[in-house]
A = this chain, B = another copy of it.
Amino acid sequence: MNEITIERGETEQMSASVGKRLKALRAMHGLSQRELARRAGVTNSAISMIEQDRVSPSIDSLTKVLAGFPVTMIEFFSMEPEQEEKIFYAEDELVEMSDGTMSVRLVGAAKKDRKMRVLHEKYPPHGDTGEKMIVQEGEEAGVIIRGQLEITVGNEIKVLNAGEAYYFNTEIPHRFRNPGDEECEVVSAATPPSF
Q: Residues of A with Cβ closer than 8 Å to B? A: 11-15, 18, 28-29, 55-64, 67, 71-75, 77-79, 82, 85-91, 94, 105, 107-108, 111, 114-116, 118, 120, 135, 137-139, 141-143, 145, 151, 153, 156, 158, 160-161, 163-169, 171, 185, 187, 189, 191-192
How often does this chain occur in the complex, in copies? 2
- Are A192's CB and B75's CB within 8 A? yes
Lowest 5 A-B CB distances belong to which pairs?
Answer: A108-B167, A189-B189, A56-B60, A91-B163, A187-B187
- Are B72's CB and A107's CB within 8 A? no
A85 surroundings in chain B (CB, below 8 A): 168
Assuming the contacts A11-B60, A59-B18, A60-B11, asked whether A168 and B116 have C-beta atoms less than 8 A apart, the reply is no
Q: Which residue of chain B lies nearest to A82 when distances are taken between CB atoms in the complex?
A: B169
Q: How far is the CA of A83 from the CA of B191 in the complex (A)?
A: 17
- Are A166's CB and B88's CB within 8 A? yes
A-B contact list, 7 entries, CB within 8 Å: A15-B60, A28-B171, A85-B168, A91-B161, A105-B165, A120-B143, A145-B185
Q: How far is the CA of A97 from the CA of B97 in the complex (A)?
A: 33
A185 surroundings in chain B (CB, below 8 A): 145
